[in-house]
Structure 1
Amino acid sequence: MSITKTLLKLRAHVAVAILAVLSPLLVLVALMWKLLGQLFCCSSPKSVVGEVAVVTGGGHGLGRAIALELAGKGCHIAVVDINLPGAENTVKQIQEKAKVRAKAYKVDVTNYLELVELNNQVAGDLGPVTVLINNAGILLHRKSLDPEPSDVQQMIDVNLAAHFWTRMVFLPTMKAMRRGYLVTISSLAGLFAVPYNTTYSATKAGTTAHMRALRMELSLERQKDIHVCTVMPTFLEANEELATLTNQVKISSVYPLISAKAAARRIVHGMLRGEREILLPGLASFLYRLLTLLPVGWQDKAIIIISGSKLEQFCTIRK
């Protein structure tokens, strides 16, 4: 028995050693494959002319930019937001830009029954939903360094739980029609945990895992024409308060700010090409793969050295 255990341990150690040796090579191959795919990919963007998209958090920022980008591609848009005037403003901009139908809806995405009613309304107003953009989210607590339990729960409800409710409501129609797009705006914070905003990092990590699992489920169900895409951006120039804070602490020296319009263009293009995950900026994909080769303690130190002090300043100023 002891010899068998020793052999098993030896095999395990050998396997780990082989994996450690091969990991850099595997990462290099993966990066080269990704680069070649970007340069020579023959998958041309598909058309969404006449499709119906639900864009949550569409009343401002990135959500508005994505709604406008999709409208420009001929997609009818249901602009969903808890802030109805903001959603109506987005609809106005869509109608000025594109010859598509668009309507604003005031909905709390954390309320499952409201989402069920939304689906019924959109189906009647615009048609069956075949594009879902899960964009609604909360970035900051009211008290960043010492959040109230209710604020923590609200962030979990909006950033994570709501994605389960939208999936339950809108995915069955896509399955019945055997086509569709489900795009979720996650964050690089779900890959690179962010100090001083642990709830946000946790919800985005959960969202990314949720989408990866869903993509595999759809593959097992032979739903090859329902495309799941997870977007993981860094800070965006899409929120006035955030832009002011990032300028104060010069956080752009660590995390390059991306305009909402540029991000939306990249997201919609990637969605229509069937990309599974989009990291913004693109360099983040390379850095993430390199970082995961390091021991966990080294990963922590690297993130602290690069961004810890900036993020602490960020939260202290906002306190």
Structure 2
Amino acid sequence: MSEAVRNTLVKLQAFIGLIGFAALTPLLILVAVLSRLIAKLCCCSAPKSIEGEVAVVTGAGHGLGRAIALELARKGCHIAVVDINVSGAENTVKQIQDIYRVRAKAYKANVTSHGELVELNTKVVEDLGPVTVLVNNAGVMLHRNMIDPDPVDVQLMIDVNLTSHFWTKLVFLPTMKALRRGFIVTISSLAGVFPLPYSTSYTTTKAGTLAHMRALRMEMALENQKDIHVTTVLPTFLRTNSDVTQLTDTMGVAELYPLVSGEEAAHRIVAGMLRGEAEITLPGLASLLYRLIQIFPADWQDRLILLLSSSRFKKLRDERS
């Protein structure tokens, strides 16, 4: 059989497979929707208990990280509050200790440094015990100049928003594997699905974390680590600090959908984590939009996003350039 004929047959086989998949798609969508509906109505996914477990929450000195740390403490988890700003971390610890009867301690660490994270793990194990809950929350979004960003800002976003997740996985996952249990939660963003023009660094890092966690879930399945749960959180802008609020006011985001508070987000994230959800979108409506838009060709997706939001992006660009 000639090479040309072989290539033609391979292409034909792929085309037939694609047609078969397209034909099955409506049935697959129906099954997926029904399974989700049944799970919600019947509470089939019983939440796990994390009482007495030890959690590391990065970027927990303020905003969403602080809210997640408090929510985990409410569930009975001992908390290692990690932040580059140690005074913010200590404030979070004080809030936890004022309300909940769990152990909590503040740790200063730069999540972009693998060496510092190794030292952090050693200290946390000595102070609180082995870590079985990891929340990768630390992140930065720098928009000082959207047209011509400072290379330092670009590198910092890559290091904090993406590279640090590889280091935390390398440091904390081996213990979870040895204990055959654990939770890894990564705060990504809907920007990883719906790209933000003039914010390519941020968008790229968030898309990277989404892909990273998908691959990690497959690895855990292949290694039969069914009790290590990997959850990716895809929030829109949250009402967590003044910079985000100012940014969303400029873009008019709140006119489309009210901003979610840090406390609301933390409650949903921890609840979804304990149920072993693979992905959590905030708001929930975004889950439907996220999947619907993926049906269209890439150029259509771009046009749809621009059709809905081009004026907002232009306004933001003009103010931040």
Pairwise TM-score range, normalised by the shorter structure: over 0.9
Question: Structure 1 counterpart of 2:283, which letter?
Answer: P
Cα distance, 1:17 vs structure 2: 3.3
Once the two structures are aligned, what percentage of the paired residues are identical? 63
- Worse-superposed segment, 25-34 or 128-137: 25-34
1:97 and 2:102 matched: no
SS of equivalent to 1:32: helix
Please give the alpha-carbon distance, in whole angstroms, between the structure 1 residues aligned to 2:11 and 2:181.
47
What residue is the counterpart of 1:139 in the other structure? 141
1:67, CA displacement in angstroms?
0.3
* Pair 1:72–1:152, CA change in 2 (3 A): same
User: Cα gap change, 1:13/1:91 in structure 2, threshold over 3 Å: closer, same or farther?
Assistant: same
Partners of 2:40 and 2:320 in 1: CA distance: 39
> Do structure 1's residue 274 and structure 2's residue 276 form an aligned pair?
yes
Kindly provide the CA deviation profile for residues 138-164 of structure 1, in whole angstroms up to 9, marking residues without a partner as x. Answer: 123332232111211111100000000
CA distance in 1, matches of 2:7, 2:122: 60
The equivalent of 2:199 in structure 1 is 197
Aligned length: 319
Q: Please identify, of 55-64 and 290-299, the stretch whose mean Cα deviation from structure 2 is larger.
A: 290-299
Q: How does 1:102-181 map to 2 (within 5 A)?
A: 102-181=104-183
Gaps of 5+ in 2: none
Question: What is the SS of the residue equivalent to 1:78?
Answer: strand
Tell me if the contact between 1:234 and 1:255 (Cα under 8 Å) persists in the aligned partners.
Answer: no
Deviation readout 1:198-223 (Å, 9 max, x if unpaired): 11111111111111111111111111
Residue in 1 that maps onto 2:83: 81
Quickly say closer, same or farther: Cα 1:4–1:43, change in 2 above 3 A.
closer
Inter-partner Cα distance in structure 1 for 2:225 and 2:243: 41
Equivalent residue for 2:213? Answer: 211
Mapped pair 1:48 → 2:62: no
TM-score by length of 2: 0.94
Counterpart-to-counterpart distance in 1, 2:183 and 2:275: 11
Instruction: Please report the RMSD computed on the Cα atoms of aligned residues, expressed in angstroms.
Output: 1.7
Point out the more displaced range, 182-191 or 35-44. 35-44
Q: Which residue of 2 aligns with 1:289?
A: 291
- Secondary structure (helix, strand or coil) at the match of 2:144 reads coil
2:62 to 47, 60, 63: 60
> 1:255–1:139: structure 2 CA closer, same or farther, 3 Å change rule?
farther
> What secondary structure, in the 3-state scheme, does the structure 1 residue paired with 2:81 have?
strand
CA distance in 1, matches of 2:228, 2:8: 48
TM-score, length-normalised on structure 1?
A: 0.94
1:293-312 equivalence runs, <5 A: 293-312=295-314
CA distance in 1, matches of 2:131, 2:11: 53
Residue 23 (structure 1) aligns with:
25
Structure 2 counterpart of 1:146, one-letter code: D
Deviation readout 1:117-156 (Å, 9 max, x if unpaired): 1001111111111110000001233322321112111111
Higher deviation after alignment, 23-32 or 256-265: 23-32
